Amino acid sequence: MALTSQATVPKLPAMSTPALEDEYADEAAQGDDTPPETDPVEATDQAPEKGRYERSTIAFPYGSLKDAEQIAQELHETWGGSTSPEQLAGGLDSNPRSGAFRGKVATARTFGLVSVSRGNIALTPLGRRIVDPQSRAAARVDAFLAVPLFAKVFESWKGYSLPPDEGLEQQMAEFGVSSKQTDKARQAFQRSAEQAGFFEHGRHRLVQPPANGADAPESPAPERGQKDRGAVAPLVTGTTDGSGVPLPELWLRLLNEGQEWSAEQTHQFVQLARDMHKLLARG
C-alpha cells in the first residue's frame, strides 16, 4: 500500500516565485556595461552572418521615463514604497513573468527610481523624490541624466542642434548601442527628454531645465569665460518703484548676450523681466 501511494502522488513542479526572484536578482546584479535595462526578451540581437549575439555595451532603457514613473507611483501609492514583484504586477494588472512587466521594472531601475533584490522591489531616494510633486521636476532631470546613454548624448550635444533621427541613431551605435537597438534607444531617449523637460526650447535642442526646489543638486561653477549667473540681476536694479531699465532694453540685452547664458541664467532673466513688467504695470 505504501508503494502504491508513493507511485500515485504526482511530483509537484518547482515553484515559480523563486525562479522569478532569481531573474530579478540577476538583473539587479548586472553592471552598467550590460543591457539589463532593455526588455529581457530582447536584451540581445542575433547576428546571423557571424552566428553570435551582439550586445549593447552602454546602459539604456527600452521604456521611457514615463514608464519608470508609473512603476514608482504604483510602489508609492499602493505598496508604501516596497513590495514583491508579484504584488506590484498584480496592481498593474500584469503578469510578473511577462517581458513587458520585467522590462518596465528594469526601466525604472535604469533611471535610478527603484532597487531590485531577491523578492523585493523598492523605491530609491530618487524614486521618492519623483513621486513628490514638490521635487518631481528636479528629480526627472536627475533620472534622465542617470541613464549612461542619455547623459553621454546630452554632454555631446548640449548647446548645439541635435542631429536628425538617423544621425542620432548612428552616434548611439558609436556609443555602444547594438545596431538593431538604436531605433528603440532613440525613441526612449526622445520620449524621456520630453518628460524631463529637456525639449522646452524645441525637440531640436537639449536644454537642461533650471534646478528648482531645495533638494535640487547644486549647479557647478561657471566655466572660464562664462558670466556669473548672478550677472542678470543688475538689469532690474531699482524696479521696486517702477524705475528700472525699460523692457525693450532688457530684451536687447537678451538678444545680444543671451547666447552665452546658461539655461538657469536665461530662466532667471525671464522671471526678473516678468516681475519688472508687473511693477511697471502697477505704476
* Opening angle at CA 41, ends 38 and 44, nearest 5: 65
pLDDT for res 277: 66
- CB contact at 8 A, 127 and 75: yes
Q: Note the pLDDT of residue 154.
A: 96
Residue 201: the pLDDT is 87
pLDDT in the model for residue 278 = 67
Question: What global pTM score does this model have?
Answer: 0.60
In the chain, DSSP assigns E strands to 45-47, 52-54, 82-83, 114-117, 120-123
- 85, 21 Cβ separation under 8 angstroms: yes
Nearest to 79 by CA among 280, 111, 275, 71: 71
Cα 67 from Cα 59, distance rounded (Å): 17
For 34, 90, 171, 213, 263, the CA distances from 134, given in Å and listed in that order, are 34, 29, 35, 7, 21
Task: Report which of 86, 90, 92 is spatially closest to residue 72, judged by C-alpha positions.
Answer: 92
The residue among 24, 167, 50, 211 whose CA lies nearest residue 102 is 24
In this structure, what C-alpha cell is assigned to residue 113?
527610481
Task: Provide the percentage of residues in the chain whose pLDDT is more than 90.
Answer: 50
Written as tens digits, the pLDDT of the chain (283 aa) is 444 444 443 443 333 334 444 454 344 333 333 333 333 333 334 444 444 567 899 999 999 999 999 999 999 999 999 999 999 999 999 999 999 999 999 999 999 999 999 889 999 999 999 999 999 999 999 999 999 999 999 999 988 899 999 999 999 999 999 999 999 999 999 999 999 999 988 889 999 998 654 444 444 444 444 444 444 444 444 333 334 445 566 666 666 666 666 677 777 777 777 776 666 666 5
Alpha-carbon span 163 to 165, nearest angstrom:
7
Three cell numbers, residue 31: 553592471
Element (H, E) at 127: helix 125-130
Grid coordinates given for 34: 550590460
* CB-based burial, 137-168: b 16+ in 10 Å, e otherwise: bbbbbbbbbbbbbbebbbeeeeeeebeeeeeb
Gap between the Cα atoms of 141 and 133, Å rounded: 14
